[in-house]
Structure 1
């Protein structure tokens, strides 16, 4: 019974970055996230239904200490506009510590091959207040100028939504 349970739980686990080690083109955050980028995407609810669409402009830069800034402006189809400014700071392991004003638990951006993974907790508007949602963010470089981003959103371990978008360098 223990072996069956272990196999079932292992089968539910998502991919690891090691699975992308040899995939190309190689994705390096400091190279892709530089200059002006644009994005288009969808927000899905827990059942997979598209509930919103959006486009975004991203200005990305890096300073002499290797700290990156991603200044994002999202425009949703219902008229809402959201902004987020990410600060990406190198850590002792060579990864990037990722933080923003509405991120209540910052993430560590890790990458191998053509993939980036980052987990963090984001505070999002909900009803008359806010809710903290865990974000499992995966990015895949398809061409040197095109990246696909998939993010699963969970609360208390349950899937509450998903975001899928394409980011392109200008």
Structure 2
């Protein structure tokens, strides 16, 4: 009985792997999706799943001739707080090293099929100070211009919250609708 319980508990801890998504489409290539102007809308949930904040964001994504990407993000929360984060995505074998000013432990972005996975430690405001929170970030491309991002936040191995957002590419002037419907 003990072995059965341990097996169930360990299976519950195991998450999906990128391999699961290798044949899913549309294909998600970070340097293609994260290019130009994007917008995002989402929610922040607490440990119990209750929505505690909402936000929208603007993202400007560029890539240099060496393949280094920059994602310049501005988040506006429903309580009036504004946060900025500038990600630098540096190519390395198998993906990108992902760094930002408030990232205490850089992430490594990998992708297959329609999914991206990244795990990193973010320094966030808490009370009068800050704490470091582990971010387990999954992104799924659902159409050529729409990505769903789900991030589980944990501290000391315990889930403390979740962020769910939708990121959409903005249509260029004169390019027609961004949803592919003519």
Q: Shorter-chain TM-score category?
A: over 0.9
Alignment of 1:45-64 (within 5 A): 45-64=46-65
Secondary structure of the 1:30 match is: helix
Structure 2: 5+ residue stretches without partners: 171-182
Distance in 1 between residues matched to 2:98 and 2:72, nearest whole Å: 13
Distance in 2 between residues matched to 1:117 and 1:154, nearest whole Å: 16
User: Cα deviation per residue 1:9-60 (whole Å; 9 max; x = unaligned)?
Assistant: 0243111111101000000000000000000000000000000000000000
State the superposition RMSD in angstroms. 1.0
Is 1:165 the counterpart of 2:128? The answer is no
Instruction: Give the structure-1-normalised TM-score.
Output: 0.96
Distance in 2 between residues matched to 1:155 and 1:7, nearest whole Å: 23
Question: Would you say how many aligned residue pairs link Structure 1 and Structure 2?
Answer: 169
State the partner residue of 1:137: 137
Is 1:150 the counterpart of 2:150? The answer is yes
Structure having the higher Rg: 2
State the partner residue of 1:65: 66
Structure 1: 5+ residue stretches without partners: none
Alignment of 1:1-170 (within 5 A): 1-2=2-3, 4-91=5-92, 93-170=93-170
